[in-house]
Structure 1
Amino acid sequence: MNPRLRAKIIQVCDEKIKAKGDQVGVSFYAFFENKNNNPELLMEAATWWIKEHQLDHFEKAVKIRDLVNGTATK
C-alpha cells in the first residue's frame, strides 16, 4: 500500500475513534475529499478494501486501522 495512503487511513481512523469511540464505522471514501482528484489512489484504496480484504461498505475504524498496521486479529 502506498505509504501516503497508509498514513492517511491511520490518521482518519484515529481521529474518528477519538471523536466518536471504538464503535465508529468508516468506508474507504472517508479517506478522500468529495472530489475525484486522485483516481489512482482512490482505486488503490477500493482494491485493498473490496478485492483484497472483501470488507463491507462500512467497517469499524479500529478494524481498518489494525489491518493497515498489520496488527488485526481474526
Structure 2
Amino acid sequence: MRASLRAKIIETCNKKIAAKGDNVGLSFYAFFANKNDDPELLMEAATWWIQIHQLDHFEKAIKIKKMVEAM
C-alpha cells in the first residue's frame, strides 16, 4: 500500500475516533470523497480491505489504524 494511502487511513481513523470514540466503525469508503476521482487508489484500498485481509464491511477504526501502523 502506498504511503499516501496509509497516511490518509490513519488521519481518517484519528478524526473518527476523536469525534465518536474508540468504538466507531468505518468502511474503506470513509477514506474517499463521495465521488470516484481516483479509481486506482479506491481499488488499492478495496483490495487491501477485502481481498488481502477479508475484513467485514464495517470495522472498528482503532483496529484499522493499528493494522496500517503495523505495516
Q: Does the pair score TM above 0.5? A: yes
Matched, 1:35 2:41: no
Q: How many pairs does the alignment contain?
A: 71
1:50-71 CA-partner distances (Å, limit 9, x unpaired): 0000000000000000000018
Tell me whether 1:21 sits opposite 2:21 in the alignment. yes
The residue type paired with residue 12 of structure 1 is T
Q: Distance in 2 between matches of 1:32 and 1:12?
A: 10
Structure 2 stretches lacking a partner, 5+ long: none
Deviation at 1:39, TM superposition (A): 0.3
TM-score, L = length of structure 2 = 0.98
Q: Percent identity?
A: 69
RMSD: 1.0
Taking structure 1 as the reference length, the TM-score comes to 0.94
- List structure 1 runs of 4+ shifted beyond 2 angstroms: none
Amino acid at match of 1:9: I
Gaps of 5+ in 1: none
Distance 1:57 1:2 in 2: 22
